[in-house]
Amino acid sequence: MNLKSLEESSKRSKSLKRYSLNRKIKEKERKEQMTESVEDGIQSLSCASACGTDDAIETRENIEKDISCLKMRKEDFTGKQENVTSAAAVTVVSQELTIAAPRYFPAPNLPYNGNSTMHLTFMNIPQNNPVAYAHTYMTPFQSPGFHASQIAHTQSLASCSTLSFPATMWLIFEIFVVYFKVLFYWLEAAFRRIIPPPKKNIEDQTVLITGAGGGIGRLLSLEFAAHGAKLVLWDINKDSNEETAAQVRALGSVAHTYICDCSNREEVYRVAAKVQREVGEVDILVNNAGILSGKKLLNLKDVEIERTMRINTLAHFWTVRAFLPDMLEKNKGHIVNITSIAGSFASANLTDYNASKFGATGFSQSLVLELREMGKTGIKVTCVQPYTVNTGLVWYPKARFPSLYPVLEPDYVAKEVVAATLRDEEILLIPRTLALNFFLTGILPFKALLILSDFLQVGVYEHIPRDEKKSE
């Protein structure tokens, strides 16, 4: 019995020794891995100082000093955290910087091109997973740098429960700056309601208008011509387009006519290339073409739904993609997207139309953000959202209180659109009292909005063919 106990004790002793030995081996491997991770981080940051640009050379000494302060945190096998050193932020300023640190970023070789200041903090979380915590503090930042920041932030947000004191102070400063900027622009907008900004001069500039053969498109052409612009008129109907051109020329302005089906991507690109060859660069692009079916969802034909989406939404993509590159080169131009208030508020009998206008409105707003991110703030984008316009597109509008929601006259809408374009307004609601709808949508629950909708009865009746309507 004693012999058996001795044997078991000997086995346990050997087992503990093996466990202790394995733990020491793992600890050694862990330290080696940690050291290698630190060296990779230092090498990655050192690459920035050897980029060869003047900006990088000027800051090389500072970078090397910061690298010497690079600190890591490790976790011992007892579960306690030992602070070997503390993390350091390294400032890198360079024209071209490649972050070659696959250990720290999921995707290696992330490019960073720009003059922004990126702060990279290399640290080791308790699970021994080295990550880079990146903050892009200086603006405007370039898109690749922003991607790197977002990737790093996603990887390390859970592990970095606290910020360093300088980072915390900087965050507080940023919050105050944002607060005062928001307040300033709110006051500026209120002031501009009383005293509008001056209108820009568009004399001899080229304005391209889609759907120029009639309705708002024709009136927009005449309004722009009155301000001395040269017109490029697009429409699917040759005769009506030529009639618009004749009226423009009667005002002493130049008009070029092109037949184009904006629902056809290849045709848009082909005609756009022809315009660029024959007329030159387009300064102002007005996406005006649009259609409306006005039927209930199950009464719509598939081809009607597809055509509505192609003309009201996709056509904006094709025209902007055709003419935006020239605007980007000179960081100058203006894109006007005529959408609808139906692009923000839905109505029965307009499922396809609402969807298409929501898409066009979202496209316009997203385009603003893309241009801002690219630093191309010289290119202006105006999103126009009018209520029902008396152009024959909507046959049967309805409103319980017509004085609150009057059907708009097209000449009034055209004047408002041109005025907003000349003042570089980003969003134009016609009438401007529609802003109340946005306010109510933001504060009221959905069921309350439904009650208001039932009470106001704003929308359209289903568009039964007119001959059938008369026979009823």
Residues catalogued as catalytic: 353
Nearest to 205 by CA among 229, 182, 189: 229
The interaxial angle of helices 351-373 and 302-309, nearest 10 deg, is 20
Hunting for tokens 């939404």 — which residue is that? 313
What torsion do the CA atoms of 415, 380, 357, 363 make, to the nearest 10 degrees?
180
Query: What number of other Cβ atoms are within 10 A of residue 225's Cβ?
Result: 22
Query: What number of other Cβ atoms are within 10 A of residue 214's Cβ?
Result: 17
Cis preceding linkage at 106, omega within 30:
no
Q: For the chain, how many residues are written? A: 472
Residue pair 69/88 in contact (Cβ under 8 Å)? The answer is: yes
User: How far is Cα 236 from Cα 95, in angstroms, rounded to an integer?
Assistant: 48
Radius of gyration of the chain (CA): 32
H/E stretch holding 145 reads: helix 143-156
User: What is the CB-side half-sphere exposure of residue 339 using CA atoms within 13 A?
Assistant: 32
Nearest to 410 by CA among 390, 382, 387: 390
Query: What number of other Cβ atoms are within 10 A of residue 329's Cβ?
Result: 11
User: How far is Cα 405 from Cα 412, in angstroms, rounded to an integer?
Assistant: 15
DSSP type of residue 391: S
Nearest to 420 by CA among 411, 409, 410, 429: 429
User: How far is Cα 263 from Cα 307, in angstroms, rounded to an integer?
Assistant: 7
Pairing status of strand 96-99 against strand 89-92: unpaired
Residue pair 257/282 in contact (Cβ under 8 Å)? The answer is: no
Cis preceding linkage at 410, omega within 30:
no
User: What is the CB-side half-sphere exposure of residue 342 using CA atoms within 13 A?
Assistant: 28
User: How far is Cα 131 from Cα 37, in angstroms, rounded to an integer?
Assistant: 10
H/E stretch holding 380 reads: strand 379-386
